[in-house]
Amino acid sequence: MLETEGARRQETVAVNLANSLKRHGVEVLFGQSLPSALHLVAPDFGLKQVNYRTENAGGTMADGYARIANKIGVVTAQNGPAATLLVPPLSEAMKASVPILAICQEVDRASTDRNAFQEFDHMGLFASCTKWCRRVDTASRIEDYVDMAIVAATTGRPGPVALLFPADLLNEAQRIARSRINEYGTFPLDRVAPDPERVQLAARMIAEAEHPVLIAGGGVHLSKACDALTALQEAAALPVGTTNMGKGAVSELHPLSLGVLANALAVGSPGRPMRPILEDADLLVLVGTRTNQNGTDSWKLYPEAARVIHIDIDGMEVGRNYEAERLVGDARLALIALTEALRSQDLSRRHAGRAALEARIARARAEGQAGARPHRTSDAAPLRPERVMAEIDRRIGPDTIVAADASYSSLWVTNFLTATEAGQRFLTPRGLAGLGWGLPLALGAKAAEPGKRVVTVVGDGGFAHSWQELETARRMGLDVTVVLLNNGILGFQKHAELVKFGAHTGAIDFSPVDHAAIADATGGHGVRVETPDALAAALDKAFASEGVHLIEVITDPDAHPPITVFEGHI
């Protein structure tokens, strides 16, 4: 650490930067040493470096951290090739509304625009995948820019931002400014309530509706609005379903909960029998959802005749796909205001229908479970993924965080695990649905909540995008359990091609890979299982011991989640 002594002796821009990050509550930097000037002084400010192997995984760790901690995730990177690898995670965060601060080094100011080594147009690079991006050139403006960046990420609709620092600037002497004291790193930073008159109108619409249904999206988690939503569910006897990203916004065991109602409602889906309840709705209350394709089953899920109330922090999302009564504001404040406004409404219609509604939901739930039971209880080998989910489901509790990779893993998790409490977290990369997100999301979540069990479900194709981070997990003491569904193919790709073209290309099949050996080779505990009994034993062992565990489950290559658009085609 001799090298740090010199840096410590004087106050530099890097010291100012570390100091400002600490003021905003930042505790973890997902990094790989660069910018070195920052990382050399960061420990003096209590900033822990979690060292990723690749930048795209590091950015995704910052994403998982932010989703769980409700604090801005910070990732740092070198200019040029490293910065380009931040594009995928920033793009996911942009679509999924997750605040991330990317701190990137720039070439020295004197070398700018001279084709310096690894010089690149980072402003252009990040233009489409950040809410806000600036290059900082003036030593005295560090606090101003850090505050602007963090506020840009955490106010309004959260999202990623980037700050670019020339390497020479970070070394410039600069006394620490003591002028600013506020912390902006926790989100939602500024809770803004919707227009009270519109809240009153919405309350009246709910009271007067015959069959109102509420759909909760991921914004409910981002806003920490799960308790407020549960209170409204009770107060107005409202049936509540969720999108994939909204899973866990309410308990799926609540008698008024419909579970996940999204793009997997074909035969075998536990949620399928709930669909008629949604189809009967004359009023839809959408909360914290961008009404995206997967969330709405290609915009076919919601009844066209239903009136719509849409609560969202981003006014541009309200009415994008469904003309709606606009309640623009923070989900939590909006739900609290709505519950309050309902007190002065006559809710007798809602409460009179509650028992019958609960009975209808209970029947649909039982029917859904019965429909899913054959696969959930199947002893077949190779295993059905539904059976794998059943084994995980009976071992997790409301405190377990489950992160899924893209592809089928996301849908197995959202449709076949149970949120037993409001606020239970299931992280899915549904912003862009890029492969490889599962493990780094899990590592970020574990960095945010070291005391909680974190499990990630990944496919064999997607996992090849992030194998290398098993070593990160081991080295950083981020003990997670990876459940790898090895069907030997790019499953979703294959089946989607079969559905659309009746044929698939030669890119689908893999040579056999010993994933358990990769886990062992990186200091973790790998095991391959081929039967339900072996899976049960492996899960018990992983959950009872420390370390990084990888359970490679050989699964049925013909199995696919009950994706609605596949129905009748394969």
Ligand X SMILES: Cc1ncc(C[n+]2csc(CCOP(=O)(O)OP(=O)(O)O)c2C)c(N)n1
Q: Judged by CB under 6 A, does residue 83 bind ligand X?
A: no
408 lies in the site for ligand X, by CB under 6 A = yes
Quick one: what does residue 185 bind among Mg ion, ligand X, none, with the CB cut-off 5 to 8 Å set by partner type?
A: none
Name, in order, each residue with C-beta under 8 angstroms of 311's C-beta and a sequence gap of 6 or more: 194, 285, 286, 287, 288, 318, 327, 328, 329, 331, 334, 335, 338
What is the size of the binding site for ligand X (CB under 6 A)?
18
Q: Is residue 422 involved in binding ligand X (CB under 6 A)?
A: no
Pick from Mg ion, ligand X, none: which does 408 bind, CB < 5 to 8 A by kind?
A: ligand X
* 89, 212, 461, 526: which one binds Mg ion (CB under 5 A): 461
Residues within window 167-196 making contact with ligand X, judged by CB under 6 A: none
Q: Minimum CB separation from Mg ion for residue 500, in Å?
A: 18
Tell me if 98 sits within 8 A of 70, measured CB to CB: no
The CA distances from residue 116 to 106, 110, 113, 127, 150, in Å, are 10, 10, 7, 21, 29
* Smallest separation, CB 384 to ligand X (Å): 12
Give me the least distance between CB of 247 and Mg ion, in Å please.
22
User: Residue 166 interacts with Mg ion (CB under 5 A)?
Assistant: no
Q: 333 vs 46, 151, 200, 315, 358, CA distance in Å?
A: 33, 20, 14, 15, 27
Q: Is 265 in the site for ligand X (CB under 6 A)?
A: no
Kindly state the smallest distance separating residue 513's Cβ from Mg ion, in Å.
Answer: 11
| Strand ranges inside 429-544, DSSP E | 454-459, 481-486, 525-529
Which DSSP helix (H) or strand (E) runs through 330? none
Residue type for position 384: R
Q: Which CB, 209 or 496, lies closer to ligand X?
A: 496
Of 70, 424, 487, 522, the one binding ligand X (CB under 6 A) is 487
| Burial degree of 235 (CB within 10 A; 0-12, 13-18, 19+) | middle
Q: What is the CA radius of gyration of the chain?
A: 24
Comparison of 169 and 485: residue with beta carbon closer to Mg ion: 485
**Closer residue to Mg ion (CB): 194 or 459:** 459
Q: Please give, one letter per residue, the 3-state secondary structure of 98-117.
A: CCEEEEEEECCHHHCCCCCC
Which residues does 437 contact at the CB level (< 8 Å), separation at least 6? Answer: 60, 63, 92, 403, 405, 406, 429, 462, 466
Gap between the Cα atoms of 358 and 43, Å rounded: 54
Output 246 or 461, the one with its CB closest to Mg ion. Answer: 461
Residue 472 to residue 519: CA distance in whole angstroms: 11
Q: Which stretch binds Mg ion (CB under 5 A): 33-41, 219-227, 312-320, 479-487?
A: 479-487
User: CA dist 99 to 127, 410, 425, Å?
Assistant: 16, 21, 17
- The strand ranges marked E within 354-435 are 401-404, 426-427
Residue 73 makes contact with Mg ion by CB under 5 A: no
Nearer to Mg ion, 399 or 509 (CB): 509
Say whether residue 493 binds ligand X (CB under 6 A): yes
> Is residue 268 a contact residue for Mg ion (CB under 5 A)?
no
Residues that contact Mg ion, how many (by CB under 5 A): 5
Name 552's bridge partners. Answer: 484, 528
Binds 417, which of Mg ion, ligand X, none (CB < 5 to 8 A, cut-off by type)? none
Is residue 564 involved in binding Mg ion (CB under 5 A)? no
556 binds Mg ion (CB under 5 A): no
Would you count residue 460 as binding Mg ion (CB under 5 A)? yes
389 forms part of the interface with ligand X (CB under 6 A): no
The site string for ligand X over 433-462 (x = CB under 6 A, - otherwise) reads: xxx-----------------------xxxx
Give the residue from 325, 331, 317, 131 showing the smallest Cα distance to 249. Answer: 331
The least CB distance from residue 563 to ligand X, in Å, is 11
Q: For binding to Mg ion (CB under 5 A), which residues are involved?
A: 459-461, 487, 491
Residues in contact with ligand X by CB under 6 A are 406-409, 433-435, 459-462, 485, 487, 489-493
